[in-house]
Structure 1
């Protein structure tokens, strides 16, 4: 499997685990970094570290896939990216 496909699958799994429930806080609209946005969504430290690992990958196609998946995740929820 190509690295980009693996990253997309990993991120899709990450997103599925983050299903929204009514007890979650709504992210702060003023959050301006990925870390602040994910923190506002109450993403666990382990999930954030996994996402950082995917984003730091040397393969730029992996970075692009993860970045686009994350942007799409925020857009679908009507959150600023």
Structure 2
């Protein structure tokens, strides 16, 4: 699935969309929020560096790993790796 397809699918499912300018490395972020749970998906479709990616945040703002949980015992660098999902991989 492409970033655009994910954005479209979430919007069609009722998620609300906002856009933030982002930084030099991450580029702009399209943020989709589930109004029922507060879960957010931050999509970086055109990062300044690297491939397009997304991250998922729970209502509390913690980034989640592929198991749906915050990797609490990980180092800061490991958390970045465990919660950063590239499109097409």
Q: Report the TM-score, using the length of structure 2 for normalisation.
A: 0.25
Relative to total residues, which structure has the larger helix share, 1 or 2?
1
Relative to total residues, which structure has the larger strand share, 1 or 2?
2
Q: Report the TM-score, using the length of structure 1 for normalisation.
A: 0.26
